[in-house]
Amino acid sequence: MMTTALLAGTAVADDLHETASDMFKPLPSTIPSVADNPITPEKIELGKALFFDPRLSASGVFSCYSCHNLTTGGDDNLETSIGHGWQKGPRNSPTVLNAVLNEAQFWDGRAEDLKAQAKGPIQAGVEMANTPETVIATLKSMPQYEAWFDDAFPGETEPVSFDNLAKAIEAFEATLITPAPFDAYLNGDKNALNEQQKTGLALFIDKGCAACHSGVNVGGHGYYPFGLIEKPGADILPPDDKGRFAVTETVDDEYVFRASPLRNVAVTAPYFHSGKVWSLKVAVQIMAESQLGEELSDEEADAMVAFLESLTGTLPDITLPNLPPETQSTPRPVAEIER
């Protein structure tokens, strides 16, 4: 009798693993390639310096790292980000970890890749509030940066350019891959998840969550209305933020957003584009009700959270860069907000 039960349990475990392997994919074991941007060690090192350098902002205060803190899940753990002149941005900052694997960047998918994404915050008045011209003047004022751009983009007549800055940042961000216990499970280690996590995975699939949150990044692709079955309250779904509609100006895209990638979601509170929900369990329950019309029990929600915790990965070792010193020709910081 016990042997039969064990065999049945093994069969169920095998079925779950097979189903999960069809819906999800483990992270790549090497740095993913990106379109039109061959990744080299020199480009990665330059991109790392630029990622951490606050002098890309008009005030000299904010860097890419300000909103994408690699020690706290690749985001800033704020409802919405703080930028130039201590202004609050309109949306919650997504994680930069594994972002290279997303179909598009930003909640509304307005940037096709990390190159395009990198240019946006630098120029946004509510974020870094700078201009490409001032950024390039800043970089060219420091001989070490010019040398690094020469090494990263050999043979180019103008290696220090805004396009190349974006390519270098993309190259560095492509290295921010975080293998997790779920990857070990997908790669064949069926003991990498505990029983509660396996129950949560089964629920995640059976309830329909994986219809939108699948693939290598457990999401990060496809666009869906928030509130497919039942719209959340205005605090969670602000009526003045119509999501992808701002990009396409198509009525069908009102309150439509890119499916959020769920890797490292357990360490990237608060949740949703509004950043109004601080509990992952509550976020799971809201998604079940609003997207699937399902009311989860406490036990089901706890199991699903346990599964999501198996997506918390290990960050690669990163040594902070020594940034070049300013010179007399380096543009001075500007604190005022232009109106």
**Residue 82 φ then ψ, to 5°:** -100, 130
Half-sphere exposure of 239 (CA within 13 A, CB side): 2
Q: Give the H/E segment covering residue 181.
A: helix 181-186
d(CA 201, CA 203): 5
Task: Indicate the SS3 state at residue 271.
Answer: strand
- Per-residue CA distances from 270 to 77, 81, 87, 273, 311 (Å): 6, 11, 19, 9, 17
Tell me whether residue 127 is one of the annotated catalytic residues. yes
Side chain identity at 324, as an amino acid letter? P
User: Residue 198: which residues within 8 A CB-CB, separation 6 or more?
Assistant: 13, 16, 307
Half-sphere exposure of 302 (CA within 13 A, CB side): 5
165's tokens: 């800055």
Q: Are 189 and 20 in contact (CB under 8 A)?
A: no
Residue 198: how many CB atoms within 10 A of its CB? 22
Collect contacts of 184-191 with beta carbons under 8 A, ≥24 apart: 185/17, 185/20, 185/310, 186/20, 186/21, 186/24, 186/25, 186/26, 187/26, 190/13, 190/17
Residue 91: how many CB atoms within 10 A of its CB? 19
d(CA 64, CA 76): 10
Q: Are 101 and 216 in contact (CB under 8 A)?
A: yes
Selecting among 79, 127, 170, 173, the annotated active-site residue is: 127
- According to DSSP, the β-strands at 256-258 and 223-225 are antiparallel
Q: Are 89 and 82 in contact (CB under 8 A)?
A: yes
- Which residues are annotated as catalytic? 127
